[in-house]
Amino acid sequence: MKRRTINRIAFVSSDTPEALAACQALEKMYGSVSQDDADVIVALGGDGVMLSCLHRFMNTGMPIYGMNRGSVGFLMNEYRTDNLIERLEKAEITPLHPLNIETVDKDGNEFIARAINEASFLRKSHQAAKLRISVDGRVRLEELACDGIIISTPQGSTAYNLSAHGPILPIDSPLMALTPISPFRPRRWRGALLSTQNTVKIEVLEADKRPVNAAADHREFRNVISTTIYQDATAQSCIMFDHEHSWDERILSEMFKY
């Protein structure tokens, strides 16, 4: 692997005291430039600040290196102040392709968003949602009664998807995980693994009686009736991980936790 040269770093952080203090300390040690002039962005906080940076710098080629000053930080590296330049120059860059989400609400308004982790659909009343699921234009599940459903990328498979008992996907797998949340009918359906070449359509049945909200990472859309989801292979964000603690190693470690 050819070693890159890092001369200019831009630091960003969440607004927690821990992240702000870390940002101040690192800027004092290594200096800081504007985001537009940087060779790399170092994000301090949790997965939220990392996702924000990945969206902000999508399609710019700017690599994002995170250090955990938050709670979970699965997308982040270990926080250390020493040898940062060497860590950055050795870090592995992984390209991430987002999901495109095209949704229509009950008033006919159309929205388009991107999701790096997942698109999720959640019931908004005391009654279960009823969803129809189509793949590549063919109805595969006529009616799913559930609390919701998640469509996850490999990088998002260890987040909400895992909490809903969905599968963990290797980062380079050309797959999406389709995972139901508390399925009631059909009770035994536990989801599906789909190719990133597939297009998924989620239709909300009885939308007035059983309202559903959709979310694409941090963006939410209320009272949706129809949503189309597919991977946008033309869009790309770049995330960095320490060479000795790569994404593949993180995935394997998570798979064998007990």
| Residue 250, pLDDT above cutoff 80 | no
Same domain (yes/no): 109, 148? yes
Same domain (yes/no): 68, 103? no
For position 202, which CATH number holds? 2.60.200.30
Task: List the catalytic residue out of 15, 36, 39, 47.
Answer: 47
Q: Beta partners for 203?
A: 132, 226
Greater confidence (116 vs 258) lies with: 116
**H/E stretch holding 230:** strand 224-231
Greater confidence (258 vs 243) lies with: 243
* pLDDT on residue 2: 55
* pLDDT on residue 253: 75
- 136 assigned to active site: no
**H/E stretch holding 73:** none
* pLDDT on residue 258: 66
* pLDDT on residue 134: 98
| Residue 247, pLDDT above cutoff 90 | no
Domain containing 29 equals 9-96+236-255
Domains contained in the chain, number: 2
**Which residues are CB-neighbours of 56 under 8 A, at least 6 positions away?**
none
Same domain (yes/no): 92, 103? no
Q: pLDDT exceeding 90 applies to what percent of the chain?
A: 85
* pLDDT per position as a tens digit, 189-221: 999 999 999 999 999 999 999 999 999 998 999
For position 36, which CATH number holds? 3.40.50.10330
Average pLDDT of the chain, as a whole number: 93
Greater confidence (89 vs 253) lies with: 89
The answer to whether 177 and 150 have CB atoms below 8 angstroms apart is: yes
Picking from 39, 43, 44, 42, the residue whose alpha carbon sits closest to that of residue 18 is: 44
* pLDDT on residue 137: 97
Greater confidence (5 vs 227) lies with: 227
Instruction: Compute the distance between CA of residue 200 and CA of residue 161 in angstroms, rounded to an integer.
Output: 17
* pLDDT per position as a tens digit, 86-143: 999 999 999 999 999 999 999 999 999 999 999 999 999 999 999 999 999 999 999 9
**Which residues are CB-neighbours of 153 under 8 A, at least 6 positions away?**
96, 97, 98, 99, 115, 116, 117, 118, 169, 176, 231
* pLDDT per position as a tens digit, 31-65: 999 999 999 999 999 999 999 999 999 999 999 99
* Numbered residues of the known binding site: 47-48, 117-118, 147, 158-163
* Numbered residues of the known binding site for NAD(+): 47-48, 117-118, 147, 158-163
* pLDDT on residue 3: 62
Same domain (yes/no): 46, 151? no
Reported as a pLDDT band with limits 50, 70 and 90, residue 1 is very low
The answer as to whether 164 is a domain residue is yes
Same domain (yes/no): 240, 124? no
